[in-house]
Amino acid sequence: MSDTPAENVKPSFRSDVTVELVKHTAGDSDVLWAARVSTAGEQSLDELSKDPERSKGLINYLMRDRHGSPFEHNSMTFFISAPIFVFREFMRHRVGWSYNEESGRYRRLEPVFYIPDEERKLVQEGRPGKYVFVEGTRAQQELTGRVMEDAYLHAYEAYHEMLEAGVAREVARAVLPVGLYSSMYATCNARSLMHFLGLRTQHEDATVPSFPQREIEMVGEKMEQHWAKLMPLTYAAFNANGRVAP
């Protein structure tokens, strides 16, 4: 892949994240045939041709009593665009996940940077372990946008200067901030996704409170929307049982 000349690329600023469902083999019936093999053996394959709605009680039982392995026999691959700091939090989730991210060693990174919008709460109040985020003032919002934009532009100019001088990409990228956007493929199964959602989203049905950073929660919410359409019975059981991964 050839680099795009930096002088032809204008820096841009975003406050969103995007999540695309690239491919999947995921449905509620996958939970059922995996669960029924313990008692039905090869006859469990009959679940592939049956309406999973008839067995939603079994799905709820598995979720409630935390029989987790039947929820692993499926796969979802997402293409995600988000700031680098989101991915560094994301990759703390290792069990049941696979990742491939774009590399600053092999391509010139595009100057696309994160600046929070007005809905992003800016001020943290309280001590560690017992704090809340509240709205920032107009002055704080303007300061945040101006300072972040200035820092991003300065960093990217330094990056471009080193590249133009022949410095290797893997060295020059060290000056770039974690607010730079990156992209990756993330593959998981329903069980690993439920664990992610339990930790990285806040929800009224959750029995265990979670305190995620808003930006990774935005990614989680978009992944959840895709998953809810693929496995509606499993999704309903997840919410009905406190959003705790089995």
The answer to whether 200 is a known catalytic residue is yes
CB atoms under 10 Å from CB of 79, counted, come to: 14
Looking up tokens 């000349």 gives: 5
- Packing angle between helix 232-240 and helix 190-200, nearest 10 degrees? 40
Residue pair 22/185 in contact by the 8 Å Cβ criterion = yes
User: Please, which residues bridge with residue 21 across strands?
Assistant: 78
CB atoms closer than 10 angstroms to residue 29 = 19
| Marked catalytic residue, from 36, 173, 191, 200 | 200
Residue 135's Cβ-side half-sphere holds a number of Cα atoms within 13 Å equal to 4
219-230 as b/e: b if 16+ CB within 10 A: bbbbbbebbeeb
Query: Distance between CA atoms of 216 and 19, rounded to whole angstroms?
Result: 11
Q: What is the spatial distance between Cα 194 and Cα 66, in angstroms, rounded to a whole number?
A: 12
DSSP 186: E
- Spatial contact of 24 and 188, defined as CB atoms under 8 Å apart: no
How far is it, in rounded angstroms, from Cα 65 to Cα 162?
A: 57
- Catalytic residues, by residue number, are 200
